[in-house]
Chain A
Amino acid sequence: MYEPRIIGYLCTWCSYTGADTAGIARLKYPANLRAIRVPCSGRVSPELIMRTFDQGADGVLVLGCHIGECHYDTGNHRTAKRIPVLHALMTFAGLEPERLRLDWVSASEGERFARIVNEFTEAVRMLGPCQWRQNGNSRQQLNHQDLLESIPFSELGG
């Protein structure tokens, strides 16, 4: 069965602790999530998210503190402004909109954390593997598989 690779950028003050809370409460959430602890959700730059998809992530989840609860006062304000625009940009460039999600989880909301991860994992699982990742220098090399399929079977010596 296909298991999506999901990278979660969790703010160390709220969401990462929220994940701990979920663990302490023995809540079950999919093991597809690879949590990366960041000092603030505002630290997650657009380049970082694009890099994550370039490296083969099927989904990226950015979790921060609720607005007004940021440890650095306004760090998550920047996230709240940036990520929707990045979402629009990456969707415009051909990413399925469901693959990038921003949400807020506070340190006590273990249940909410588990629910979000569950929802997100299922949404990404439905989409199947992400086609964003590109290897090589040009388009021609990419369509290797298509090329193989276009060659008659007999010519492949099989």
Chain B
Amino acid sequence: MSYTLEIQTKARELLTSKQVECVIGYEVGPRGRTRPAFVYDAQDVERLVWNQACTHNLTTYLNDKLNPQGPVKNKTKEHKPGRVAVVVKPCDSRAINVLLAENHFPRELLHVIGVVCDGILEKAGQSDNLRSVRELPISDLSQLQSRCQRCEDHMPVTYDTLIGECPSHQELSLGNANQADLIHMQAMTPAERAEYWLSQFDRCIRCYACRQVCPMCNCPTCLYERDDSLWVGLRIGLNEKRTFHLGRAFHLAGRCIGCDECERVCPMNIPISLLNRMLAKEVEALFGHRAGLAPIPPPFVTVLSDS
């Protein structure tokens, strides 16, 4: 049975038995592009698909779905949110652990449909018809997104339903250590790096797409959009854009799960994931913490250990 059918069967079962109110999954849109889908009715489960263009991180929507009242302090008892099922790739499943560790919602409200993933195509999100990409052999790593080339986790870290089996071809990964661009950057002189990043940040138009798509960027009011903020500028000055990007990367340190959605949605092609990967590496070296492997809080909110 194909993954698509398995997901549809599970979604139908969950919706007809009223175990969940909504299934968040993927569908193929009218122009052949795979996009997020919200299914509320068992009749509509046919819309759900799984293919190698399922690039979106659907955990982004969980906070809105499970906290319809906004921030926790406004939640009243009579507005109890219904359960939600969500289709996740292994990388996305780590985001759930981070959100759980930060107490955004209880685990009981969630039914996680974890899908074993062989990697997402680089072309995903572009307009080509990818309706039948599942059949495509994935012998060629270069067709995959760079994050998938580095990916070592082909199994979701948390799930209620698992779709697929653990793949046997794990050698099809360059490994997490393979970060040539990062090593190249670190070998540059400070002046060269400053020049590189300024030319990148210069293109930023502050559309905040990176922030909107990020499951970890869930502050009710972003610090970089507060008009009473004293130390971050809201305008498009180069230093203000730099502060935004570096500050956002810092806020994600130890929390970013490396789904690289921010980079994918960036209309100006700013290599945001480079910052995130550098910090993830740094946090792992300093605190031995990798985001999302378990529902434990990131190192910055905990005290130092006795050593």
Contacts and interface: CB of A to CB of B under 8 A. Distances in A.
A94 B193 CA distance: 5
A84 B190 CA distance: 17
B185 A92 contact: yes
Interface string B180-194: 000001100011111
A81 B299 contact: yes
Interface stretch (B3-11, B54-62, B229-237): B229-237
B283 interface: yes
A85 B253 contact: yes
A110 B273 CA distance: 44
Contacts, number: 104
Contacts of B202: 138-139
A25 interface: no
A132 B195 CA distance: 10
B239 A133 contact: yes
B236 A137 contact: yes
A51 B193 CA distance: 19
B197 A47 contact: no
Contacts of B232: 47, 51
Contacts of B299: 81
Given A132-B194, A136-B238, A139-B238, A77 B303 contact: yes
Given A74-B303, A85-B283, A92-B193, A50 B198 contact: no
Given A47-B231, A136-B238, A142-B238, A78 B300 contact: yes
Contacts of A137: 235-238
A54, A82, A97: which has the most chain B beta carbons within 10 Å? A54
A88, A93, A132, A136: which has the most chain B beta carbons within 10 Å? A93
Interface string B277-295: 0110011001100000000
Nearest to B232: A47
A129 to B, nearest CB: 13
Contact of B243 (A51, A86, A88, A97): A51
Interface string B200-226: 001000000000000000000001000
A94 B197 contact: yes
A94 B198 CA distance: 9
A92 B247 contact: no
A86 B286 CA distance: 12
A69 to B, nearest CB: 13
A93 B194 contact: yes
B239 A134 contact: yes
A92 B275 contact: yes
A24 to B, nearest CB: 32
A67 interface: yes
A29 B253 CA distance: 36
B249 interface: yes
A134 B237 contact: yes
A157 B16 CA distance: 83
B304 A50 contact: no
A88 B282 CA distance: 7
B123 to A, nearest CB: 30
B190 A91 contact: yes
Nearest to B231: A51
A97 B191 CA distance: 12
Given A74-B303, A92-B278, 19 more contacts: A48-B231, A54-B243, A74-B304, A77-B303, A81-B299, A85-B279, A89-B250, A89-B278, A92-B185, A92-B275, A93-B193, A93-B246, A93-B275, A94-B190, A94-B191, A94-B194, A134-B237, A135-B239, A137-B237
Q: Which 5 A-B pairs have the closest CB atoms?
A: A94-B194, A51-B231, A94-B193, A134-B239, A134-B238
18 contacts: A46-B246, A46-B247, A47-B223, A47-B232, A51-B231, A54-B239, A74-B304, A81-B286, A84-B286, A85-B282, A92-B186, A94-B191, A94-B192, A95-B190, A131-B191, A134-B239, A135-B237, A137-B236
